[in-house]
Amino acid sequence: MRIDVLTLFPRMLDGFLSESMLGRACEAKLLEITVRNVRDWATDKHRTTDDRPFGGGAGMVMKCEPVVAAIEAVQTPGCRRIYLTPDGVPFTSAKAEELSKQQHLVLLSGHYEGIDQRIRDTVIDEEISIGDYVLTNGTLAAAVLIDALARFIPGVLGEEKSLTHESFTSKLLDFPQYTRPAEYRGMSVPEVLLSGNHTEIDKWRTAQQEEKTRQVRPDLLK
Ligand code: ADE
């Protein structure tokens, strides 16, 4: 899968793309991610990418010309062009899975008070928010989206199986996990996990999932 990220702060993604699972997925060519600086498409002497909003108000707005030029330069037929914005449609695990099946994504990170509406009207297919809070820019939101969808690409997770047990695939939150030592600072691992009885272990885990979900995310049970 190919992903182009368009941002004014490309270095924000340096560590993210080279570390851990993502780093390995890129090395293995399961993912081909290119981070591009929108400023490279600004044509004036000062390489301007933003300007004051018509109608007044605080902050600056990203200009049409460099952003549209950047998108038009990287887009391919059938690609999905996504703008990361707090006023977008809330991101979910289902959306991550859907996007993981695309051939090519173009992710636009916005800044300041937003971007000119005509960019959204002409070269954006979809607008996504990663949560009800406002980040200083959408670059980390793009990273969150990439990280979540990468887990659905076959081969990215070491053990394919680890997807099936998980929160949001099952609509229940996860059960508690323990590893060695069996006793730590006076706290012991629940007996059942040491029993080797997998029927009982599964029963215990499901009960824990239901209780946790009821406490923390009762909305998921509806
Ligand atoms: N840009 C700023 N805040 C954001 C959010 N919550 N989701 C996506 N993009 C953003």
Same-domain check for residues 125 and 199: no
Share of the chain above pLDDT 90, in %: 91
CA geometry: angle 115, 74, 33, nearest 5 deg: 95
Same-domain check for residues 102 and 138: yes
- Which pLDDT score, from 0 to 100, does residue 160 have? 62
Structure tokens at 122: 């002409």
Residue nearest to atom 4 of ligand 1 (CA): 86
- Expressed in angstroms and rounded, the spacing between residue 87 Cα and the centre of ligand 1 is 8
State which ligand 1 atom lies nearest to the alpha carbon of 84.
9
Q: What is the mean pLDDT of residues 64-83?
A: 98
- Which pLDDT score, from 0 to 100, does residue 26 have? 93
Mind listing the pLDDT tens digit for each residue in 142-182? 999 999 999 999 999 976 656 665 677 678 999 999 999 99
State if residue 86 touches ligand 1 by the CB under 6 angstroms criterion. yes
State if residue 131 touches ligand 1 by the CB under 6 angstroms criterion. yes
- Which pLDDT score, from 0 to 100, does residue 158 have? 79
* 158 lies in some domain: no
* 217 lies in some domain: yes
State if residue 124 touches ligand 1 by the CB under 6 angstroms criterion. no
Q: What is the mean pLDDT of residues 117-128?
A: 98
Mind listing the pLDDT tens digit for each residue in 75-114? 999 999 999 999 999 999 999 999 999 999 999 999 867 9
131/62 Cα distance (integer angstroms): 22
Which residue(s) pair with 90 in the sheet?
129
pLDDT band per the 50, 70, 90 thresholds, residue 222: confident
Same-domain check for residues 125 and 193: no
- Expressed in angstroms and rounded, the spacing between residue 25 Cα and the centre of ligand 1 is 25
Same-domain check for residues 179 and 92: no
Name the residue range of residue 55's domain: 2-150
Q: What is the mean pLDDT of residues 33-55?
A: 96
Whether 122 has a pLDDT exceeding 80, the answer reads yes
Which carries the bigger pLDDT value, residue 220 or residue 165?
220
Q: What is the mean pLDDT of residues 198-219?
A: 97
* 96 lies in some domain: yes
- Expressed in angstroms and rounded, the spacing between residue 15 Cα and the centre of ligand 1 is 20
Residue nearest to atom 5 of ligand 1 (CA): 86
Domain stop point among 150, 183, 205? 150
- Which pLDDT score, from 0 to 100, does residue 171 have? 87
Domain stop point among 101, 119, 150? 150
Mind listing the pLDDT tens digit for each residue in 26-42? 999 999 999 999 999 99
**Strand duo 80-90 + 126-129: pairing:** parallel
- Expressed in angstroms and rounded, the spacing between residue 172 Cα and the centre of ligand 1 is 26
HSE value, Cβ hemisphere, 13 Å, CA-based, for 46: 4
- The CATH number of the domain holding residue 172 is 1.10.1270.20
What pTM does this model have? 0.94
Q: For the chain, how many structural domains are there in total?
A: 2
- Which pLDDT score, from 0 to 100, does residue 113 have? 79
Q: What is the mean pLDDT of the chain?
A: 94
- Expressed in angstroms and rounded, the spacing between residue 186 Cα and the centre of ligand 1 is 43
Own/partner contacts of 37-45, CB < 8 Å, gap of 24 or more, are 37/7, 37/8, 37/10, 38/6, 38/7, 38/8, 38/62, 38/66, 38/67, 38/70, 39/8, 39/66, 40/70, 41/65, 41/66, 41/67, 41/69, 41/70, 41/73, 42/66
Question: What is the best residue among 130, 132, 137, 146 to mutate for testing ligand 1's pocket, by most ligand atoms within 8 Å of CB?
Answer: 130
